[in-house]
Structure formats: structure tokens, C-alpha cells
Amino acid sequence: MADREIWFEYVRTPGRISAVPVHWKGWVLLLLVCLAPGAGAMALSRWVPGFGPQHGFLYLMVSFVVVFGLMALLLKTRGRRRGN
């Protein structure tokens, strides 16, 4: 594999992945990924008429899947497994 910047270090244990950003780009991306669902929900509730709690719950569930999927992809592409 070609040399690449490492943004995260992670530890895999059965049923759990723990990761920590080790590069400033990792910290910025983590902040953006964590704030994006809230910002998206606020934008939808403001600009989409009829966006209520029932839609908000569905949006929350979808955003959890997207956030965890994106973090898993980032760990795979920009992460390094930390030795125990």
C-alpha cells in the first residue's frame, strides 16, 4: 500500500472499535461528522414544511447509519491499527 497520511488510530476488540484522531485533519473531520446530523435536522425543520417529530426520528436513525458507516470507511482508509 502506498504511503498515506494517518488520521486515526484504532483498536479492535470483539464487538467494539475504539478510535482516536492523531492528525488535525482527523479532529476536523470528526467534528464535522458529529455536527452534520444536527445541522441537517435544523435545516430540514426550517426549510421543509411539515418536517415534524415523526420525520425527525427517521432522520435520526438514518443519520446514525450514515455517521457510523462514514467513520468505519475513514478508519479503513485513513486509520492505523494500534498494537495492544
String of b and e for 26-54 (b: at least 16 CB within 10 Å)? beebbeeeeeebeeebeeebeeeeeeeee
Count of structural domains within the chain? 1
Residue 2 lies inside a defined structural domain of this protein: no
pLDDT of residue 2: 53
Q: 1 pLDDT band (50/70/90 cuts)?
A: very low
Per-residue pLDDT reduced to its tens digit, 34-74: 888 888 888 887 888 887 777 778 888 888 898 888 888 98
Please indicate, yes or no, if residue 21 is contained in any of the structural domains. Answer: yes
The alpha carbon torsion through 13, 66, 78, 83 (nearest 10 deg) reads -10
Q: Name the band, by pLDDT with cuts 50, 70 and 90, for residue 22.
A: very high
| Confidence class for position 84, pLDDT limits 50, 70, 90 | low
Domain extent for 37: 8-81
